[in-house]
Amino acid sequence: MFDSVEVEPRQLEAYREIAPDEQIEEIRALAARFQGARVLHVNATAFGGGVAEMLTTIVPLMQDIGLAAEWGVIKGATEFYEVTKKFHNALQGMDVSLSQQELDTYLRYSKLNADLFDEEYDFVIMHDPQPAAVRGLMLEAGRGQPGRWIWRCHIDITDAQLGAWEFLRPYLEAHDAAVFTMQEYVKPDLNVGEVALIAPAIDPLSPKNAELNAEGVATVLRENGVDPNRPIIAQVSRFDPWKDPLGVVDVYRFVRDRVPGLQLVMVATMASDDPEGHLWYDRTREHAEGDPNVFLLTSEQDNSRQVNAFQRAAGVVLQKSKREGFGLVVAEALWKRTPVVAGNVGGIPVQLRNGLDGYLVSTTEEAAEKVARLLLDPNERTKMGESAHQHIRSDFLITRKVLDYLRLFQRLSG
């Protein structure tokens, strides 16, 4: 079987004073039908990125309400993840080509993982392109397992490269259902029994989002050489072309002339399934040209406390994405009452109400103007921050996401 990921326990009742009461009650009611149901979530990495972060909470919450939920990570080597990263980029519209050798590599590792699948589950959720072919290859080999199989797409595939999409589509159609973040992401030629829309969500009790007092925030800043007494803007994202890290540095350069003493902090995890991360880190470092007020903070370990502190310390959080399936870090910052200036792309407008919680922008110059405006107007920052916090509480906490999965299980069960 796949590598099993151990998770720390979570209790649904711990969220009762935070999440809306009606969400908690409906979760309890629906869970009664699925007591003991075996549920398997499968992805490519136990650490790094929004998928792993959400599973860290979703799996133990499902366990707490009586489901036999598990989390498995597929097996693969660097050559496999290099190909899946190309798939990831191609599905998001980047002009990349996949050679026959690369497609063969993808299928070889997918078959390896299909051969490892040797247990029965009531529900299997395959996350993103990395494990997407496993179910189809099992069926081709005459090893169709019982239960309902779901492919969960976390990225924006509206402009997917045709070749990559046509290659993957038959494997996706081997699933009983497909889950997307938004209706706009659903490809019209995808033929599956059920299409569900489930937006990502944050865990308000995780170390990344739990309350952190001013002293704790200042301590983290000083540990990383950042002055807590000077203005800060921050972006928390992988070093990735879609996150436009070079453009983030350009925004900082525009704004620093209007905001004396400005500091830019970019925080990233270097995930094992993202071989491009180090390349884009180097490009960003070179683009910053040794500016002592630009801090590029990377980690291959859990950096939740660091992220929490910088999202709270920042006057404005940036998410300068060019393409974004959702951008969970937007909801994280908004939950902490920090206004966000973000690219008007993908799932970001679902979270960020323009002019209420921050600003949606389309260019570097527009981003810089909005960041400067917020930094220079503390009253607007405070008003937007409170609006943002209430919006995330209502629609983007992890309890709502668990509820959406239970609703999908109910529909698939008939």
Enter the DSSP assignment of 164: H
Residue 160 has phi, psi (to 5 degrees) of -60, 140
Mean pLDDT (the chain, rounded) = 95
Residues 6+ apart with CB under 8 A from 188: none
Alpha-carbon span 6 to 236, nearest angstrom: 26
* pLDDT for 49: 76
Q: Is it the case that residue 366 has pLDDT exceeding 90?
A: yes
The answer to whether the CB of 408 falls within 8 A of the CB of 179 is: yes
Q: Is it the case that residue 413 has pLDDT exceeding 90?
A: yes
* pLDDT for 324: 87
Residue 343 is which amino acid?
G
Classify residue 326 by burial, with Cβ atoms within 10 Å: 0-12, 13-18, 19+: buried
% pLDDT > 70, the chain: 99
Distances (CA, A) of 151 to 180, 221, 366: 9, 40, 37
* pLDDT for 286: 97
Distances (CA, A) of 264 to 226, 255, 309, 338, 384: 9, 10, 14, 15, 21
Alpha-carbon span 98 to 103, nearest angstrom: 7
Report residue 40's pLDDT band, with 50, 70 and 90 as the boundaries.
very high
Report residue 272's pLDDT band, with 50, 70 and 90 as the boundaries.
low
**How crowded is residue 386: how many other Cβ atoms within 10 Å of its Cβ?**
11
pLDDT in tens, 85-143: 999 999 999 999 999 999 999 999 999 999 999 999 999 999 999 999 999 999 999 99
Alpha-carbon span 92 to 98, nearest angstrom: 14
pLDDT in tens, 184-234: 999 999 999 999 999 989 999 999 999 999 999 999 999 999 999 999 999
CATH fold of 3-201+397-413: Rossmann fold (3.40.50)
- Per CATH, the homologous superfamily of domain 214-395 is Glycogen Phosphorylase B; (3.40.50.2000)
* pLDDT for 277: 81
Averaged over 50-73, what is the pLDDT? 95
Q: Is it the case that residue 270 has pLDDT exceeding 80?
A: no
Closest C-alpha among 365, 333, 344 to residue 251 = 365
pLDDT in tens, 228-247: 999 999 999 989 899 999 99
Q: Provide the edge-to-edge strand list for the sheet that holds 148-152.
A: 3-4, 68-73, 38-43, 123-127, 148-152, 177-180, 194-197
pTM above 0.75, yes or no: yes
Alpha-carbon span 25 to 4, nearest angstrom: 30
Alpha-carbon span 180 to 175, nearest angstrom: 14
* pLDDT for 273: 61
Tokens 């792309």 belong to 345
3-state secondary structure of 269: strand
402: which 2 tokens?
């668990």
Q: Is it the case that residue 155 has pLDDT exceeding 80?
A: yes
Q: Where are the beta strands (DSSP E) in 198-292?
A: 232-236, 263-269
Averaged over 385-412, what is the pLDDT? 96
Q: Where in the chain is the domain with CATH 3.40.50.2000?
A: 3-201+397-413, 214-395
Residues in the chain: 414
Q: Is it the case that residue 271 has pLDDT exceeding 80?
A: no
Averaged over 318-342, what is the pLDDT? 94
Q: Is it the case that residue 302 has pLDDT exceeding 90?
A: no
Q: Is it the case that residue 337 has pLDDT exceeding 90?
A: yes
* pLDDT for 90: 95
Alpha-carbon span 91 to 161, nearest angstrom: 6
